[in-house]
A = this chain, B = another copy of it.
């Protein structure tokens, strides 16, 4: 996996409509019209989001001329999760660290 792939995966995920589209496609393939339905945005706006997802390799479009159904390609999501996995021990400990930090802040204030 290249840095470029991670860049485009994370950039594609940085939008609530695109995340909702992926969530819908996790249930099975859908046409642009079906994907647009739950959103208060135009078909062209949905198409732009689909292009971002397609360039990031997160979806593919079918060949069927009229419908071109979209299908989720989940592998880049797995690669993004793998990158985050390296930090698991840190975030699992972060509640403890937040406590430590607050204790230090309090200690700092007391010694001011």
Q: Is the interface of A mostly helix, strand, loop or mixed?
A: helix
Contact present for B91 and A84 (CB under 8 Å) = no
Q: How many copies does the complex hold?
A: 2
Contact present for B83 and A19 (CB under 8 Å) = yes
Q: Is A80 positioned at the interface, with any CB of B under 8 Å from its CB?
A: yes
Q: Is A85 positioned at the interface, with any CB of B under 8 Å from its CB?
A: yes
A68 to nearest B CB, angstroms? 15
B-chain residues with CB within 8 Å of residue A26 when the two chains form the complex: 86-87, 90
Considering only residues 59-112 of chain A, those with a C-beta below 8 Å from chain B are 63, 72-75, 77-78, 80-81, 83-88, 90-94, 98, 108
Mark A residues whose CB is within 8 Å of B: 3, 6-11, 13-16, 19, 22-23, 26, 63, 72-75, 77-78, 80-81, 83-88, 90-94, 98, 108
